[in-house]
Amino acid sequence: MVHFTAEEKATIMSLWGKVNVEEAGGEALGRLLVVYPWTQRFFDNFGNLSSASAIMGNPKVKAHGKKVLTSFGDAVKNMDNLKGAFAKLSELHCDKLHVDPENFRLLGNVMVIILATHFGKEFTPDVQAAWQKLVSGVATALAHKYH
Amino acid sequence: MVLSPADKGNVKAAWNVVGAHGPDYGAEALERMFLSFPPTKTYFPHFDLSHGSAQVKAHGKKVADALGNAVAHVDDLATALSALSDLHAHKLRVDPVNFKLLSHCLLVTLASHHPAEFTPAVHASLDKFFAAVSTVLTSKYR
């Protein structure tokens, strides 16, 4: 189980407080679909995903991205019990959505990159390390109930 | 994965923006990697890995110079990186999983310094480019 120091928690929460969840969510999901096009397999009903600009401007992508990142906010609030916090979502992603957990790792890394673009110098190696722990913990928690 | 003409254009343009910062960014990417993915440090027991280390700086320059060479010869990476490929296969033997980790940290470094240029399309092209370089560097492993 991943353990966060008090410092790591403070680092994570401080940055999260400044994130525009709606904007960042759309960007994260959009970049996932652009950079790793095979992830589009889960979104056949999203309409036009034919180019980078189509994807980034797609309203369904933005809406779903916001949903995903809002849920990620639960991770920030429950860093001491990620597996518990994401148990239900884990079952959903396995039983109903049939998402390969590798996709959670891909999305987590895309999120880290977006934080880097938004926060620039403030996104120091130490800050990145704390966030890598979090996205890795979330990916593991989301895969925990798979069978 | 094949690099399209657009990918190659994006990579060259991005590397132009990097310019003289190459060595600094190389060192920063390594530092990010050592902090975020501690097992990567096992390949450098002989290095001082503290912040600002001269050895990490020097190694960052090596990495950046090699990438610059790869960018300049993006149409024939296998030939341009052949010696490095031999080195990684027979001497360094870095487990292939680690190339993804360094590639990710290179992307984070570039994204943090040049957010405006790091568009989704450029991000995609660079990700593909680093993957292509990694593939060449591990191509003679077995």
| Extents of the domains making up chain A | 6-143
Residues from chain A contacting residue B118 (CB–CB below 8 Å): 117
Ranges of residues in chain B whose predicted pLDDT is under 50: none
The three-class DSSP label of residue B117 is coil
Determine how many CB atoms are found less than 10 A away from the CB of residue A21.
Answer: 17
pLDDT value, residue A77: 96
**C-alpha span between A66 and A72 (Å, rounded):** 10
Question: Does A134 reach chain B within 8 Å, measured CB to CB?
Answer: no
**CATH code of domain A6-143:** 1.10.490.10
Spans of chain A, pLDDT less than 50: none
pTM, rounded to two decimals: 0.93
Say yes or no: A55 contacts chain B, CB-CB below 8 A: yes
Question: How far is residue A91's CA from residue A109's CA, in Å, rounded to a whole number?
Answer: 22
The helix/strand/coil state of A147 is coil
Residue A128 to residue B104, Cβ atoms within 8 A: no
Q: Is there a contact between B115 and A120 if contact means CB atoms under 8 Å apart?
A: yes
pLDDT of residue A27: 98
Of A52, A55, A117, the CB nearest to B111: A117
In eight-state DSSP terms, residue A49 is -
CB-based contact A123 B124, cutoff 8 Å: no
Distance CA A75, CA B54 (A): 38
Closest alpha carbon to B103 in B82, B124, B84: B124
Residue A1's pLDDT is what? 79
**In this structure, are residues B8 and B1 in contact, taking their beta carbons and an 8 Å threshold?**
no
